[in-house]
Amino acid sequence: MKWITFRRMFSSGAKNFVRSGIVSFATVLIMVVTLGIISMLIFLSALLQQTLTAIEQKVDVSVYFVTTAAPSDIVAFQNKLKQLPQVAQITYTSRNDALSQFRARHANDQLTLQALNELGSNPLDASISILAKNPSQYDSIVKFLNTGPALSANGTSIIDRINYAQNKTVINRITFAIGATQKIGIGIALIFALASIIIAFATVRLVIYTSRDEITVMRLVGASNAYIRGPFIITGVIAGVMAALIVLLLLIPITWYIGGETTLWFGGFNFFLYYRQHAVYIASIIIGAGFFLGSTASFIAIRRYLTA
């Protein structure tokens, strides 16, 4: 019995959608624009996250050791750092590697190379670059470096300097950008969700208005509120799901074109490749949003007629 009732409501809702013609088209069109904006936010969020991740990987804390530091002492210090839960990666640069890199950077500066040769020895320090798991954890890493200095076998510190102060501004900006992006993204999503419900509500009400006499008759003959409400909710769901499918189909050529034209601009981020790899995730969000917007707008719109 319940299945027969649902089938009747679905059939009535589909007929309402087809019969409404222009109004249904306007509803779908508005939802296509709204869901298109939501999909754009998904791609922009992914692009921004990749950009922030790339920047995070380039920011680190470098520790330079005194020229007299023994390699064994440096290795022991690295092992202590690796035990910190905040540390993601440590890269060691020996004095000889630092000298080779310096010569490569100044290959065209003969005056600098001549001055280096006249020294007769390697003046550069060995160093390690520390990459944190999260930019907000650099403070605790530096605190460990300052409160628990690396000591040599004879008890003297082997650390010459730490360049955290030079990178702190960049690190703080990244941390702020990540937090602000998350908050702004949630805010924008809520604003567009509210706007979508309001817009869809206005258009769905037009469908209900054309059927107001039918609603009155159904109430007079004793139809339940759920039975009256069902077809109109299904009409809204059909509009939302149809709009979602249209958006998902339009994303294929749009992301393909944008991906081919802008990949080099965005540090290798390809919109079409991202869409292919996350098709199920994106489709679930878009279809779910269409379903929610259509059903919610229809429910709110029909409620005034059932409570009058």
In a domain, 192, yes or no: yes
In this prediction, residues 10-38 reach a mean pLDDT of 74
Are 252 and 192 members of one domain?
yes
**Inter-CA distances, 50 with 133, 196, 274, Å:** 15, 28, 11
Which residues contact residue 271 at a Cβ distance below 8 angstroms, ignoring those fewer than 6 apart?
43, 47, 255, 258, 259, 262
Q: Please determine, for residue 259, whether its predicted confidence score (pLDDT) is greater than 80.
A: no
pLDDT band at 284 (very low <50, low <70, confident <90, very high): very high
- Do residues 51 and 71 both lie within one domain? no
Q: Which of 128, 157, 186 corresponds to the end of one domain? A: 157
Q: Tell me: the pLDDT tens digits for 175-199?
A: 677 677 767 777 776 777 677 677 6
pLDDT score at 168: 67
Statement to judge: residues 185 and 296 lie in one domain? yes
pLDDT score for 302: 73
Share of the chain above pLDDT 70, in %: 72
Q: Strand, coil or helix: what is 7?
A: helix
At 204, list the tokens: 């769905």
**71 and 194 fall within a common domain:** no
CA–CA separation, 61 and 87 (whole Å): 11
Domain match, 181 and 83 both: no
Is 185 a domain residue? yes
Q: Is 130 helix (H, G, I), strand (E, B) or coil?
A: strand
Q: Does 82 fall in a domain? A: yes
Same domain, 179 and 263: yes
- Which of 3-7, 60-64, 294-298 is least confident? 3-7
- Whichever domain contains 115, its CATH number is 3.30.70.3040
Helix (H) / strand (E) containing 105: helix 95-105
281 pLDDT band, cuts 50/70/90, is very high
The mean pLDDT of 200-205, rounded to a whole number, is 69
Average pLDDT over residues 45-62: 75
Question: pLDDT tens for residues 119-129?
Answer: 777 778 888 88
Please indicate, yes or no, whether residues 299 and 184 belong to a single structural domain of this protein.
Answer: yes
3-state secondary structure of 91: strand
Q: Is residue 209 part of a domain?
A: yes
Q: Collapse the DSSP code of 10 into the 3-class scheme (helix H, G, I; strand E, B; otherwise coil) and give the result.
A: helix
Q: What is the pLDDT of residue 8?
A: 67
Please say which residue of 123, 157, 191 terminates a domain: 157
In a domain, 38, yes or no: yes
Residues 172-179: contacts with CB under 8 Å, at least 24 apart:
174/52, 174/55, 174/56, 174/59, 174/135, 175/135, 175/136, 177/52, 178/52, 178/135
Same domain, 281 and 136: no
Q: Which residues contact 151 (CB under 8 A, 6 or more apart)?
A: 73, 157, 158
Domain co-membership, 226 together with 205 = yes
Q: How confident is the model at residue 248 (pLDDT cuts 50, 70, 90)?
A: very high
User: What is the tally of structural domains in the chain?
Assistant: 2
Distance CA(41)–CA(280), nearest Å, equals 16
User: Cβ contacts of residue 94 below 8 Å, gap of 6+?
Assistant: 71, 126
Same domain as 293, residue 228: yes
Backbone angles phi, psi at 92, to 5 degrees: -100, 135
- Would you say residue 96 lies in a domain? yes
Q: Are residues 125 and 232 in the same domain?
A: no
Q: What is the residue range of 10's domain? A: 2-55+174-306
pLDDT at 245: 93
Is residue 61 assigned to a domain?
A: no
Boundary of a domain, candidates 92, 123, 157:
157
Distance of CA 243 to the CA centre of its chain: 24
Instruction: Report residue 121 as tokens.
Output: 């020895």
The strand pairing partners of 91, in sequence order, are 129
pTM exceeds 0.75 for this model: no
**Mean pLDDT, to the nearest integer, of 272-292?**
90
162 located within any domain: no
- In angstroms, the CA 88 to CA 84 distance is 9
| Dist. CA 30–CA 295, nearest whole Å | 15
Model confidence at 286: pLDDT above 70: yes
Give the integer Cα–Cα distance in Å for 293 and 287: 10
Question: What is the per-residue pLDDT across 68-101, written as a single tens digit (0 to 9) for each?
Answer: 788 888 888 888 888 888 888 888 888 888 878 8
pLDDT in tens, 59-77: 778 888 887 788 888 888 8
Helix (H, G, I), strand (E, B) or coil at 100: helix
Confidence of residue 249 (pLDDT cuts 50, 70, 90): very high
The pLDDT of residue 1? 47
My answer on whether 81 and 212 are in the same domain is no
